[in-house]
Every structure is written in C-alpha cells, then in structure tokens.
A and B are shown apart, each in its own frame.
Chain A
Amino acid sequence: MIQLQHISKVYEGATRVEALKDINLEVKEGEIFGIIGQSGAGKSTLIRCINMLEAPTSGSVIVNGTDLTTLSKSALRKARKDIGMIFQHFNLLSSRTVYDNVAFPLELQGLSKSEIKERITPILDIVGLTERMNNYPSQLSGGQKQRVGIARALASNPKVLLCDEATSALDPQTTESILKLLKDINEKMGLTIVLITHEMHVIREICDRVAVIEGGIILEEGSTVEVFTHPRENTTKEFISSVVSDNLPPEALEHLELHDQWIAGTAPLVRLKFTGQSTDEPVVAGLVRRFNLDVSILFGGIDYIQNTCVGRLIVILNGDPENAQEGLDYIKTLPIESEVIGYVRANN
C-alpha cells in the first residue's frame, strides 16, 4: 500500500540537519503500522513525507501504486484525497461546527450539499458525534475533538489514514477509546493506518507491525509481538520497559545478595519468558513435581500483545543443587526462553 524507498530529508540552513537518512519501509494494505521514536527522532518528518506535507530531499513515496514525488501540484492535491490525516492538536476549524468541519474536505472536492449530507451522516454515527454536530470545536472535549478529526479524515473515503501523535494530547481513558475507534475503523473499513507515537502502549494496543526510529534511521522493524518479545536495540528495550517491566527492582536484588558463581548455599535465579502457546505449559508445577524444587516466584506478569500472550516470570530454584541443575536442563527443553540471572542465597 505504501512504499518508502531511500527517503532522506535534509534541512539546509545555518546548521544542516539530516532528519531522515535513507529510510526504506513498506506498509501492507489493511494493517496498522506504528512508528515509534523519541521527539526529534524524525518520526514526524517521516509521516509528513507519506502525504508530501514535507517533500523528501530524495527517494520515492509510493502510495497505492503512485509515486507522489513525481506528481504535479494539482495531481498531488488529488492524490491526497485518498490519504486522510489526523493530528495531535486536532487542527479543527474553530469557525465551523462539527458538521461543517467534517464536510470541509467534501466541500473542497465540490460535492453538493445533499451529497455531503449523505456521506457525513453515517460517519458522524461511527465516531459517535451525531448529537454534537451543531456544536463548535471549542465546546468539545479533547477526545470529542479527535473524533471530529477522525470523521473529517474519513469523509473523503481514504485508503490510508495517517495519525500524527493522535493520542498524545489526550488522557489515558480517552486515548483508550480513540485507539479502539481506530482499530474498529481498520477492521470494518479495511483502512490502512500508519501512526507515529512516542508511547509504547499505543503500539502494544493496536499496531500489527512496528518500526523504531532514532536519529533519522529505522533501528528495527517487525511484528509487534516479535519486537516486544525479542527487541534487538537498546532504544527498543527502553521503550518496551516503559510498558512491560521484567526486571527486579534494584532494592530487591540487593536484598537477595546476587552472586555470579554457583557457590555453596546459593540457588539459581532464573528469568523465564513465554510467548503465545507456551504460556499453557505448566512449567512451575513441572519443576516442583519432577525435581522436588521449591520454586519461589519473585516477579511475574502476563501481557496480551495483538492477542498473543506474553508472560514473564523470575523465580528462584531452591533445593538440592543437582536437582536444580536438572531443573535448568529441563527448562531448556521447553519452548520457552530462559536466562540465569545469577545465584542467590538459598532458602533451605
């Protein structure tokens, strides 16, 4: 649906800024693709390149088979009607009512009043603003304003929806409802969505695939579950740790007297990671029953990422060191990931 090929963007000026460096991305039809990065990473520039609000310095932007960088100004304006966009600060027209804001893109296309009404009525219903259609934006809450933004973007039946930090100005509950609405639209209308954000929970909530951007470069890219469970880059790990924590607090580690070596009187401290099906394995029960170990659970959690279960456990394998070693070997045979963090004072 969208192919970005060798996109770079350079701002010439007193100081030359390379905002994007040779970016290659492909967004498939019907998916929700997330781009996450800190402020200044280039994500805003990148999403603006997709509808050419920012023209890339070099590279091609192919949307729905057309290379937008080669189009004339008027052809580009026409092409933009297939690409809706919503913004962090909504960018609604304060002088127009909700209805007239949603009607705006259709007015630009020269549709008649009755055609506009026919098109808008169901859209206002989808975003749940039928009752507020005669209000002005100043009379709405942030979440309602973003719903107007979404309705306005949907009015011209776009194939792609670009979301520029669409939930960053909203409180957590409203964010939740807006994300749900975006997911609904994606599923019901088959709309391809590209969103940029600095919040990992937005990615976890609705994105099928994710790209991590830093310093104008895509650090890594993959399915959301894959990136969440096997992050490669430190930046990615930091983003993930903001929503999924699998580390013991430092105070707890201190209290445990962590050793590097398995010396007498210590027991292994093990981190276990489960993904998808493997969460059904009765690992702890197996360790207890088969190897006669006292398994103390220090930390645990289960997350659902794109309907896939991701679990994490940190346990101490207390018991006879031989049994503990067998237990570790047993864990390795299971379809789960494990890592011995160190050795701590045994409880027995």
Chain B
Amino acid sequence: MSEQIINLLITGTLDTLQMTIISTVMAMLLGIPLGVVLVVTSKGHILENVALNKVLGAVVNATRSIPFIILMVAIIPFTRMVAGTSIGTTAACVPLTIAAIPFLARLVETSIKDINFGVIEAAQSMGASPLQIIWKVLLPEALPTIIDNVTVLIVNLISYSAMAGAIGGGGLGDIAIRYGYQRFQADVMIATIIILIILVQLVQMIGDAWSKAMNKK
C-alpha cells in the first residue's frame, strides 16, 4: 500500500471517530433525558403526563422508522441550516445525531423501566421529590445498563457514519466506496473493514468492562 493510501486511511479513521464521538455526545445529552422523560411521564409514573408521553413516543417512533440513508438525504436542508453545509464530516454529524437521539432514548427508556418500581416507592415514602428520584434513584440504578446502551449506540454510529460516506460525509465508509468499490482496490476495502472491526471490538470491550465495574447487582 502506498504512503498516500495509508495517510488516506488515517484521515478516514479520524473522520469516522470524529463523527462518532460528536454524535454520541450529542445523542447522550439529548437522548438520555428524552428516555427519562418517556419513562416518568408514562401512566402511573412519578410525573404522569399521558398526552406528552404519547406525543414524544410518536415522534420517536416516526424518526426511528425512517431508514438512515433516507433520513440523511431528506434532512439536507436542515443540515445545511445547522452546519452551514451538507457535505463533509461536520455536516454528517447532524443526521447521525438525529438518528441517534430516539435510538438511545428508547434503549434508556427500557433500561429505566427495568428498575423495580418498589425502589421508587421506597424513595417516595422517604419524601423524595420527582427530580431527586430521577437523579438519585433512576439514573444511578440504571447506570450499568445505560453504559451498555451507549456501547450499542456507538457501534451503530460507527456503521451509520460509514453510510454517511455515500453522500460525501467522509470517513472510512467514503474511502471504502470510492477506492475499494469504484476503483476496484481490494486492499483498501479490506483495510477499511479491518479498521472498522478493530474499532467496534475496542468499543465493545471498553463498554462491557465499564458496565461490569459499575454493576453492583
């Protein structure tokens, strides 16, 4: 492999990492609170608000039902508004984040719903406010599974970010398509696949170890 190709692969890897990290952070900032809201506003929960819950649930479902490659194209005007451009890694972060938020929110919702309601009742019997219950009961009790959720999300975002390459998003996916597929450079194709496998393995290993360390059950 030429030095040029190696440099290309390094840049591509960094681009992929950049897209994944930015959209993961954004998705955590918005998706985890959304997941919490989906739980606490559900019927019989600490901040029951069935109307809000139904609306949010519908929005989440709608976003999740659009295949990522279509979502990416469909929201180009919005992407241009937010990122100033619709091409490149920064621009790719917009659809990635938008796809990631409802994905993570649903996972977090399930994790928090798994907490035995008795624990919440116990906190209520001690005079805990809804906000205290969220911060001191729901999030700490669900933390190990939320770490698992984020791990799943990162692995998904690595693969989605490769798709972003198809519309000029940059990163490893872009390289694999342009060099590996369109120019028949099998070595580049194999190299990108190996890098992707290593990335995913690393993320999964770190995520599993961290979740295990946090799990006191």
Min Cβ gap B140→A in Å is: 5
On chain B, the residues within 8 Å of A332 by CB distance are none
B125 in complex: contacting residue of A85, A93, A109, CB < 8 Å: A85
A78 to B129: give the CA distance in the assembly, Å: 10
A residues 120-160 with Cβ under 8 Å of B?
Answer: 136-138, 152, 156
Residues A95 and B126 in contact, CB atoms below 8 Å apart: no
On chain B, the residues within 8 Å of A83 by CB distance are 125
On chain B, the residues within 8 Å of A92 by CB distance are 119, 122
Would you call B67 an interface residue if the criterion is a C-beta within 8 Å of the partner chain's C-beta atoms? no
CB 8 Å contact bits of A59-98 with B (1 = contact, 0 = none) = 0000000000000001001111101110101011111100
Would you call A107 an interface residue if the criterion is a C-beta within 8 Å of the partner chain's C-beta atoms? yes
The DSSP consensus for interface residues of chain B is: helix
Residues A91 and B119 in contact, CB atoms below 8 Å apart: yes
Closest to A107 in B: B136
A53 to B143: give the CA distance in the assembly, Å: 26
Residues B124 and A81 in contact, CB atoms below 8 Å apart: no
Would you call B174 an interface residue if the criterion is a C-beta within 8 Å of the partner chain's C-beta atoms? no
Residues A105 and B127 in contact, CB atoms below 8 Å apart: yes
Residues B140 and A95 in contact, CB atoms below 8 Å apart: yes
Would you call B116 an interface residue if the criterion is a C-beta within 8 Å of the partner chain's C-beta atoms? yes
Residues A80 and B127 in contact, CB atoms below 8 Å apart: yes
Min Cβ gap A261→B in Å is: 59
- Cross-chain pair count, CB within 8 angstroms: 70
Closest to B128 in A: A108
On chain B, the residues within 8 Å of A162 by CB distance are 125
On chain B, the residues within 8 Å of A89 by CB distance are 116, 118
A203 to B217: give the CA distance in the assembly, Å: 33
Size category, A interface? 20 to 34
Residues B126 and A105 in contact, CB atoms below 8 Å apart: yes
B residues 103-148 with Cβ under 8 Å of A?
Answer: 116, 118-119, 121-129, 132, 136-137, 140-141, 143
On chain A, the residues within 8 Å of B132 by CB distance are 108
Would you call B216 an interface residue if the criterion is a C-beta within 8 Å of the partner chain's C-beta atoms? yes
Min Cβ gap A154→B in Å is: 11
On chain B, the residues within 8 Å of A138 by CB distance are 216-217
On chain A, the residues within 8 Å of B137 by CB distance are 93
Taking A53-B121, A89-B118, A91-B121 as contacts, is the C-beta distance between A81 and B127 under 8 angstroms? yes
B141 in complex: contacting residue of A77, A93, A108, A136, CB < 8 Å: A93
On chain B, the residues within 8 Å of A105 by CB distance are 126-127
A94 in complex: contacting residue of B122, B125, B136, B141, CB < 8 Å: B141
Min Cβ gap A40→B in Å is: 19
A51 to B122: give the CA distance in the assembly, Å: 11
Residues B141 and A53 in contact, CB atoms below 8 Å apart: no
Would you call A104 an interface residue if the criterion is a C-beta within 8 Å of the partner chain's C-beta atoms? yes
B217 in complex: contacting residue of A81, A91, A94, A156, CB < 8 Å: A94
On chain B, the residues within 8 Å of A95 by CB distance are 140-141, 143, 214, 216
Min Cβ gap B147→A in Å is: 12
On chain B, the residues within 8 Å of A104 by CB distance are 123, 126, 136
Residues B126 and A81 in contact, CB atoms below 8 Å apart: yes
B residues 139-161 with Cβ under 8 Å of A?
Answer: 140-141, 143
Min Cβ gap A110→B in Å is: 10
Closest to A106 in B: B126
Min Cβ gap A168→B in Å is: 13
Q: Enumerate 26 A-B pairs (CB-CB under 8 Å) in ascending A order.
A: A74-B129, A77-B127, A79-B127, A80-B125, A80-B127, A83-B125, A84-B125, A87-B118, A87-B121, A87-B122, A91-B116, A91-B121, A93-B119, A93-B137, A93-B141, A94-B216, A95-B141, A95-B143, A95-B216, A96-B216, A105-B127, A108-B126, A108-B127, A109-B127, A136-B216, A138-B216
Report which B residues bind A (CB closer than 8 A). Answer: 116, 118-119, 121-129, 132, 136-137, 140-141, 143, 214, 216-217
A78-B127, A81-B126, A95-B216 known; 10 other A-B pairs, CB under 8 Å? Answer: A80-B125, A80-B127, A87-B121, A87-B122, A91-B118, A91-B121, A94-B217, A108-B127, A138-B217, A152-B126
The 5 closest A-B pairs by CB, nearest first: A91-B122, A91-B118, A80-B127, A105-B126, A85-B125
